[in-house]
Structure 1
Amino acid sequence: MPRQSRKVSGTGIHHVMMRGINHQNILEDPEDYYQFIATLDRMRVRYDYEGSPVGSNCTYYAYCLMSNHFHLLIREREESVGETIKRIASSYVYYYNRKYGRDGHLFKERFKSEPVNDMSYFTTLMRYIHQNPVKAGVVEHVKDYEYSSWGEYDGTVEPVFQICHTQVVLNRIPFTELDAWVNEPLSDDVHCLDIEDASRKRPSDDQVWQMIIEKSGVTNASAFQQLNEEVKRGVLRVLKEQGASHRQLERLTGIGRGIIQKL
């Protein structure tokens, strides 16, 4: 089956997500994270043959680096988003393979992208991208995560080290308002690109309960809560893999969302 063409963005802005092949880590230690950020920085500028900057390949508005994938809110400039992402990936893979003594691919062959055509979805993505580490249970608050662009917005990162065009966002949205939005958890019903197939539908409540019965033998939330911890966690992991949302699992089983997020 031929690949579907990427959707065109009327604004030139795209939300991009790329993950490691076979879900493997692409970032192992702090040096890797800083190297990736440095790679993003280099690839946004166009240079002439003498190494002098002569233009802009792209503009970044937000990013978040997770251990096995990354998110990027990017605007095309003098090259397509596909060309920019290809150069970012190629440069980082060269560094990673040399450091860890490996060969071959690191990223899944084709990155995912979606167009961002209005301000409403742009602000939703600002929240979604920066909330990734919180949703994954890595940190408790957005500001606590070191490897996202939020530090460029709240001033934690010095201007000389910033790679995102934060001012164009802050000119439209005052920081106090943006800060409140970014720290307000998004509903599980908000669907942005994720590390799973975006075309995959969530199971219904009835389907989730049928899976719970099959995997655990219990038929109600109270009985599920009385199960052995290892059994409960195992069932919840399977349900998450099958597409059940955190909110759905919390509602049906009575297990706290914080516990479900950390599985």
Structure 2
Amino acid sequence: MSREKRVWINYRFYHIVCRGNRRDPLFRNASDFEAFLHILHQLHKKYPFEIAAYCLMTNHYHLQIRSQEVSFSKVMGLINKRYANYYNTKYRLTGHVFEKRFHDSVIADKEGMLEVSRYIHSTPVKAKMVNKPEYYPWSSYPLYKNTVSTVPIFMNMGSLLNYYEGSEEQKKEKYCHGDSPPVL
């Protein structure tokens, strides 16, 4: 029985969730999280994609991602393959690192973009890992909450902040406070 082909709409963002095999940890320590972010950075150079929000949890990760030139299935396949190679080599393992194919859902509108990003950023709080999303270092939320000198090249913060009016700092503050953007 063949799997249903994924629908790729190159101008839409998708919410991607990928879990470790048997719900085992994907990230055991800081260097694993850093390796995953490095893989995103490296792949972005060859296959440009945009991430509006991300959160790397212990046994799964969330991406709010758009790939306009190459199907997101190809991008996700490359991300997961490179990370699996890294993980299996580092921990001297063989076999599957990821549970199954990643879950994806297309984001249709502005409300969906904001809802999905807030859901992604709230995951560590819901899991009781931190009290506030800005305290979780493996999420894109600190990029929105704090003034950061270096934003990863794969991040497209404007895809969320451009729904708001004002300066960059005012937009960030409105986003982080959960303000509704003006109706256009």
Fold equivalence (TM over 0.5) = yes
SS in 2 for 1:44: helix
Cross-structure match for 1:86: 77
Q: Identify unmatched segments of 5+ residues in structure 1.
A: 47-55, 183-263
Deviates more, 1:148-157 or 1:24-33: 148-157
User: How far apart in 1 are the matches of 2:63 and 2:23?
Assistant: 18
Partner of 1:175: 172
CA contact (8 A) 2:114 2:160 kept: no
Range that drifts further, 36-45 or 111-120: 36-45
Note closer, same or farther for the CA distance 1:104–1:84 as it changes in structure 2 (3 Å cut): same
Q: Could you tell me how far apart the structure 1 residues matched to 2:3 and 2:31 are? A: 35
Find the aligned partners of 1:156 and 1:105 in 2 and give their Cα distance.
Answer: 38
Scaled by the length of structure 1, the TM-score of the pair is 0.61
- Looking at structure 1, the residues matched to 80 and 61 of structure 2 have their Cα atoms a distance apart, in angstroms, of 11
CA offset digits 1:186-238 (Å, max 9, x no partner)? xxxxxxxxxxxxxxxxxxxxxxxxxxxxxxxxxxxxxxxxxxxxxxxxxxxxx
Equivalent residue pairs, number: 173
Question: What is the aligned partner in structure 1 of residue 22 from structure 2?
Answer: 22
Higher relative contact order (CA 8 A, sep 6+): 2
Q: Deviations over 1:53-98 (max 9, x none)?
A: xxx5311111000000000000112110000011001111111111
Structure 1 position 139 matched with structure 2 position 125: no
TM-score normalized with structure 2 length: 0.86
Rg larger for: 1
- The residue correspondences of 1:3-152 to structure 2 (distance < 5 A) are 3-9=3-9, 11-46=11-46, 56-152=47-143
CA RMSD of aligned residues (A): 1.9
Secondary structure in 2 matching 1:16:
strand
Q: Percent identity?
A: 31
Over residues 137-160 of structure 1, what are the superposed CA-to-partner deviations in whole Å (9 max), with x where a residue is unaligned?
100101110000112212354325
Q: Which has the higher helix share?
A: 1
Distance in 2 of aligned mates of 1:163 and 1:155? 18
CA shift for structure 1 position 161: 4.3
Q: Name the CA distance, whole Å, in 2 between partners of 1:74 and 1:32.
A: 21
Distance change (3 Å), C-alpha of 1:114 and 1:161: closer
Unaligned stretches of 5+ residues in structure 2? 165-170, 180-184
